[in-house]
Structure 1
Amino acid sequence: MVLAWPSILRPQEVMPHLMPMSALGPVASKGLRQVVASDAGFWQMTLTGVPIRTADQVREWRWLVTAAQGGLEDIVVGVFDCRQAPRPIAHAGVEITGIPHSDGALFSDGSGYTQSLVRTWLHDNAALRATAITVDVEIAGPIRRGMFFSINDRLYMVTSIPAIIVGGGAFGVGQRVTFDFLPPLRVAAGYGTPVEFGKPKATMRLASPDTGQLSLRIGRFGDPDIDLVEAWDGF
């Protein structure tokens, strides 16, 4: 079973880190040592100080940690990095909310549809372990090195200065961009697969069975931390 991180739980700090799969050799007489790596690594993520202020938040946190079964079940979680996303409109978010039906009506709870303002797609098929892709832009701001993105809820980071193959119009419409990334692609993806820059997600699991413990002050408030590791067992 794959668990979805509850939307009402928003950490104060998030630290995604690509942990290298490297080993250090012994120190030579000159003080140097050899570094050997078997792969590009795997994601670790620490979510710190998640504000727990309501009864719903208490229940959702308890459910998440219990249902994760000490790391047995996967958790799909965002990286909460919208400020670094390629937003096409300065000082705006990565999505539009409250969009009504064609007749102008909203849902019964007063909400509407949501549409992303950052939409990109794979231009070609991408093979397992690929480290470069080309994307077609429907709408997005400039893609920059150091940005997170996800494909099929697997997290990656742009590691090269993107090259614009086809220039686009306003808000990047029609642009085609190619770039390198890490870690290598976890699962092969076909032409037209969404490349999520607006709200990238990672598939993780609990890093240890005892992480995520919740202590409540006067039975109501808490600020728990949780350590996650990528749900990936290697190629």
Structure 2
Amino acid sequence: MTIDAWPPALVPQMIGRPDLRGSVTSGTRTTSGVEQRVYSGAGRWEFRYRIPVHTRAKVLAASAMMDRLRSGESIVLKIYDMQRAMGLDGDVPAATIAGAVSAGATSLTLASPTAEVEPGLHFSIGQRLYRINRVTDGAASETIPGVILSDDAAWDDELDWDDGGNVTVSFLPPLRAAASSGAAVTFEDLVCLADLKDVTEGDMDLDLGKFGTLSLTFVEAR
């Protein structure tokens, strides 16, 4: 079974930015100091949360969640990201995929996204998380085709607005599953299917039986 959603009572106080781990395999160094490194898409996300537990609702929610995680269940982890994508003109940032993409791909084209697409942003497809490392083609800002807008540019009401067109990005980790054309890409409600990294962590030592902090590390589920 899977915990379908992060308990809303457990809002983290300290949040480690998602990190990719295990993408590099390293051999031993030679006598001259040379080290061979092999890079692959075998890495997976790691997430670190510190959660204040100081109410009855939080203690109960944490206890129930830990029981399920320690019994082997995965969780659709809510990704708290203060540097998420900004929507164009106040829109909720979203996009769809332009053209089918196979599993293992590290680039895709977003069809007219309503977000300001930048390197370093996270997005989710289904229950998986990805991070953009390059914008290789297109722009997400609003333009008028064939016209460079400036203070002295002529206005032409006959021209149609273009919401930025398609944007091609490179990202990591490699796409976990094939995605069809038109599949939804979210920049807003970020999630990732994850497991508890160490089932022995997550003990709660509560001062006066009421106050404490829950420290958890999650890894992307396979």
How would you bin the TM-score normalised by the shorter chain?
0.7 to 0.9
Distance (Å, rounded) in 2 between the aligned partners of 1:22 and 1:138: 32
The offset of 1:25, in angstroms, is 1.5
CA contact (8 A) 1:128 1:187 kept: yes
- Residue 88 (structure 1) aligned with residue 90 (structure 2): no
| Other-structure match for 1:97 | none
Number of equivalences? 203
What's the counterpart of residue 68 of structure 1? 69
Does the Cα contact within 8 Å between 1:11 and 1:51 map onto a contact in 2?
Answer: yes
Q: Percent identity among equivalent residues?
A: 29
Work out the CA distance in 2 between the residues paired with 1:89 and 1:126.
25
Structure 2 unmatched ranges of 5 or more? 145-161
Inter-partner Cα distance in structure 2 for 1:143 and 1:41: 24
How far did 1:174 drift? 5.4
- The counterpart of 1:27, out of the listed 26, 29, 32, is 29
- 1:36: Cα distance to partner? 2.0
CA–CA distance in 1 between the matches of 2:174 and 2:55?
A: 40
Are 2:150 and 1:150 aligned? no
Is 2:117 the counterpart of 1:161? no
Note if contact 1:167-1:176 (Cα within 8 Å) is conserved in structure 2: no
How far is 1:208 from its partner?
1.3
Residues of 1 paired with 2:190 and 2:100: CA distance? 20
The aligned residue for residue 219 of structure 1 is 209
* Unaligned 5+ runs, structure 1: 93-115
Per the alignment, in what secondary structure is the counterpart of residue 39 of structure 1? coil
What's the TM-score, normalizing by structure 1?
Answer: 0.78
Superposition pairs of residues 47-196 of structure 1, within 5 angstroms: 47-48=49-50, 50-70=51-71, 72-81=72-81, 83-88=82-87, 117-137=92-112, 139-140=114-115, 142-164=116-138, 168=142, 173=163, 175-196=165-186
Shift of 1:156: 0.7
Q: Which has the larger radius of gyration?
A: 2
- Secondary structure, in 3 states, of the residue corresponding to 1:7? coil
